A = this chain, B = another copy of it.
Amino acid sequence: MNWYERRVRESLEKLGLEVGGGAPHDPQVHDKRFFQRIVSQGSLGLGESYMDGWWSCAQLDEFFFRLLRADLGQKARRPWREALAALRARILNMQSPRRASRVANVHYDLSAEFFQTFLDRRMVYSCAYWKAADSLEQAQEDKLDLICRKLRLSSHDRLLDIGCGWGSFLKYACERHRCESVGVTISGPQASYARRDCAGLPITILECDYREIGSRHQGRFSKIVSIGMFEHVGPKNYRSFMRVVDDMLTDDGVFVLQTIGDNYSCLRCEPWLDKYIFPNGVAPSVEQIGKAIEGLFVMEDWHNFGPDYYRTLMSWYRNFKDRYPSLNFDPPMGRDKFFRMWEYFFASFGSAFKARHLQLWQMILSKRASPSVYLAAR
């Protein structure tokens, strides 16, 4: 047993994880190079060596939960690699309009058939609301309904959805409330899908960056929503994003923002997730959101249902395991490696919510709210 292996085994043992152990959360190592790789490459190496099949785990999400849970209590300083990455993010605008399309190309332009392997039938690609639901279908419908109630949506409203994805929220909202609406997405395939899926409803889909909405659309909206898109905006652009919303919202309008949240103000995301799943994604902190809305909006309500993202991701994971085998799809990295990449995403990301490192926030923001209390739905 070399120095790397001893060091890794010892560290994992402190967290109750035994390499080669018999518990479902114990990691099984199939290639000895694993030990040196995670010492030298950290979390990126952990993820890439999983994709390469160097290790596996019967219950991957529980492995991550133990890893992440231990860390939460400590007030550890940021490791130097993280600091270096933060420096890079300070210098560059990682989510400039030119760079912003990268996440669309890498991720959201994957075929709708692929996302159908794990999403619900409406194709809602954000955290579901499990308060009263016992299936993913129901939890996603409850989430869409919760947002409509928080928006107090009616047929008199003009509704804007920034980052509308495949149009699931707009379709739901317009079918029930008959409001005129506009959806914005940066992904061509998503825009086409949404236009097809929303045909016959008073819904316009614009394929553009959120910074272009003002030049692409005349008139303001009484209700604006953004669900799971703010994670791609980036700290350098939080203020411009809020200015866009402020510009597009009527004075008595309401804005509901759903976003993943971080306990810490970061300038970049976890390296493996950044490289393989969400290029340049960053979850905001309370402070970063506070700074971005200051003087523009009144903070009416802030609802955290982070642990529901764990349940959502576990549902996606189960669906993916069931349905991926029958999907006719040949990714450049090979079917198995691609499968393990998504497996790793569902399990590690889900555990970050269960361990409370990450949060799921829905906020209600108003501009010049009425003098009555905004009693938020839950």
Contact = CB atoms under 8 A, between A and B. Distances in A.
Contacts of A298: 263, 304, 306, 356, 359
B299 A368 contact: no
A287 interface: yes
A133 to B, nearest CB: 12
A290 B285 contact: yes
Contacts of A300: 304
Given A290-B288, A294-B285, A368-B72, A373 B299 contact: no
Interface in A278-313: 285-291, 293-295, 297-308, 310
A208 interface: no
B372 A307 contact: yes
A297 B372 CA distance: 30
Contacts of A303: 301, 376
Copies of this chain held together in the complex: 2
B355 A371 contact: yes
A193 interface: no
A295 B298 CA distance: 24
A71 to B, nearest CB: 11
A131 to B, nearest CB: 7
Contacts of A264: 294-295
Contacts of A308: 373
B359 A310 contact: no
A362 to B, nearest CB: 11
A286 B295 contact: no
What bracket does the count of chain A residues touching chain B fall in? 35 or more
Contact of A290 (B72, B287, B371, B378): B287
A356 B300 CA distance: 10
Interface string A2-19: 000000000000000000
Nearest to A360: B373
A372 B290 CA distance: 25
Contacts of A295: 75, 263-264
B294 A263 contact: yes
A329 interface: no
Nearest to A305: B373
A307 B368 contact: no
Nearest to A65: B371
Contacts of A73: 251, 368
A307 B298 CA distance: 12
A265 interface: yes
Q: Which 7 A-B pairs have the closest CB atoms?
A: A287-B290, A286-B290, A302-B302, A290-B290, A354-B371, A287-B291, A305-B373
Interface of A: 72-73, 75, 130-131, 251, 261, 263-265, 285-291, 293-295, 297-308, 310, 354-356, 359, 361, 368-369, 371-376, 378
Given A285-B294, A304-B374, A356-B369, 19 more contacts: A73-B368, A130-B373, A264-B295, A285-B290, A286-B289, A286-B299, A287-B294, A298-B356, A298-B359, A299-B302, A299-B359, A300-B304, A301-B303, A302-B302, A304-B373, A306-B373, A307-B372, A308-B373, A356-B371
27 contacts: A75-B295, A131-B373, A263-B294, A263-B295, A264-B295, A265-B294, A285-B294, A286-B293, A287-B287, A287-B291, A287-B294, A290-B290, A298-B304, A298-B306, A298-B359, A299-B302, A299-B359, A300-B304, A301-B304, A302-B302, A303-B376, A304-B373, A307-B371, A308-B373, A355-B371, A356-B368, A356-B371
